[in-house]
Structures are given as structure tokens and as C-alpha cells.
Structure 1
Amino acid sequence: MAVASTVEEYIGGYPPEVRVLLLRLRETLRQAVPNGVETMALGMPTLMVDGSPVISWVAAKKHVTVQTRGQLPPALAREAEDYRVDDGVQFPYRKEVPFEFIADLAKHLAANPR
């Protein structure tokens, strides 16, 4: 598979049932960070604010990972415990994806850049 040059191409490379989830994730992040500029960085859809990456996400066969880029405050860290992986939070497609939590996460990261 060729590397996607746009977020549309990236999402379009997945099966329809995954695309629906990715489109909702994308919209959730756009609404949470309305001043974010969407781009592809290191092969991942990424929201940038003032030229700095705020949040990225990557889809895999069975899950989507949202890269958190830094420490989370205690309240968000507790909520993320069940989903935490080394580079972010991972949500299996077979479970309900917590879009409200993802929006809160994106808002925090946008307000607290690294």
C-alpha cells in the first residue's frame, strides 16, 4: 500500500466498516480542536496547532491508536488506564470507542503543547 499524502487517502485505504469509525474520529478531533490544521506527518493523520503537532492517530487491523504526546493529567490518565499503550491510547474496533474521552484528550493536548 502506498503512503497516503492526505487524510482522505489514508481513511480511504481502509474497509468501509473501519472508515466509518475513522471519519467519526476525524470529526471528533476537528470539533475538539477547531483551530487545528490537519496534515499527514510520519504517515499518520495529525492535527497541528501553531505549527506543532498536537495529536496524531493511526489505524491498524484491529484497533486505532491515538498518540498522546506527553503526560496526561490525573483525571484523563485514570480514564485512559484501560486503553494505555506506550505511545498513546488504543481503542479496539470491536468495542465502543469513547469519542467524548478522545475529544477531552485532544482539548487538553491542544491547550498544553509539549
Structure 2
Amino acid sequence: MAKKKPTTIDEYINTFPKEIQGELQEIRQTIRKAIPEAKEEMKWGRPAFVDERILVVFGGFKKHIGFYSTPSSLEEFAEELKDFKTGSGSVQFPYEKPLPTELVVNITKYRAWESREKNVNWKS
């Protein structure tokens, strides 16, 4: 029988080992602090924060948390992200290092601002 895909962020987080669940809850609460007005939804099988459009997404992996935003929002924080593995719209935060909560808040707030003020869509 096929595994049921999680339909909520809580279900998603609960599919991970306990030690990873804490890390995923930490990034979830950090994002929530930055954009309390956003709704939590599942997009592409991962937790997402949405306010008219997708703002940020995160996901758990074996050795890191994947954090997904727009390329432009990550470019804005390129200097602060230099110690992390990044892609055009993604960052890997390894579990063995403390989550850079202030950086996550700043990127998330920037993403919300660029969505509202500059009309930047997801993955623009």
C-alpha cells in the first residue's frame, strides 16, 4: 500500500525522526515570526507560507533543511549566505550547525516585501 502524502505541515514534520522534527519546527516558527499574516499550506509536497502567492517553502532532508525563496531574495543576502550551499532559489541549512534564525527572518521579510511592493512572483 502506498504511503499517504502529508496534507498539513504537522503531518509533514511528523514523518521525520524526532531530532529532525525539532529542527523543522524551529524554521517553521522562525518563518511564522517573520510573516505572521501568511497562511501555511503544502506546495509540491513541502511546507509553504503563502500570502496571495507563495513566499517561502522549506523541506527536510537527511542532512539539511532546504529553504526555498526567489533568486532575487537570495541574491539580496548573498554575502550572509556565503557559508551555505545555495542554488538559484534555494539554501541548505545543515542540521549540525545552528539555524541562522535572524537570516531566515530577514530573507523571509524581504521576500514578503518584494512580493507586495515589487510584484515579484515565485521563482522570478
Residues of 2 paired with 1:103 and 1:97: CA distance? 11
Instruction: Indicate yes or no: 2:93 matched with 1:63.
Output: no
Where in structure 2 are there 5+ consecutive unaligned residues?
none
SS for the counterpart of 1:91 is strand
Classify 1:73/1:56 alpha carbon distance in 2 versus 1 (closer, same or farther; 3 Å): closer
- Counterpart in 1 of 2:41? 39
How far does residue 97 in structure 1 lie from its aligned partner after superposition? Answer: 1.3
Length-normalised TM-score, structure 1: 0.91
Equivalent of 1:28 in 30, 35, 38: 30
Q: Which of structures 1 and 2 has the bigger CA Rg? A: 2
Percent identical pairs in the alignment equals 28
Classify 1:73/1:28 alpha carbon distance in 2 versus 1 (closer, same or farther; 3 Å): closer
Classify 1:89/1:74 alpha carbon distance in 2 versus 1 (closer, same or farther; 3 Å): closer
SS for the counterpart of 2:77 is helix
- Counterpart in 1 of 2:103? 101
- Counterpart in 1 of 2:14? 12
Where in structure 1 are there 5+ consecutive unaligned residues?
none
Please list every run of at least 4 consecutive aligned residues from structure 1 whose deviation after the TM superposition is greater than 6 angstroms. none
Q: Which moved more, 1:80-89 or 1:24-33?
A: 80-89
Residues of 2 paired with 1:73 and 1:97: CA distance? 16
SS for the counterpart of 2:81 is helix
Q: C-alpha offsets along residues 14-69 of structure 1, whole Å, 9 cap, x if unaligned? A: 1111111111111110110011110000101000012x000001110110010022
Q: Which moved more, 1:13-22 or 1:84-93?
A: 84-93
Residues of 2 paired with 1:34 and 1:70: CA distance? 22
Residues of 1 paired with 2:74 and 2:8: CA distance? 31
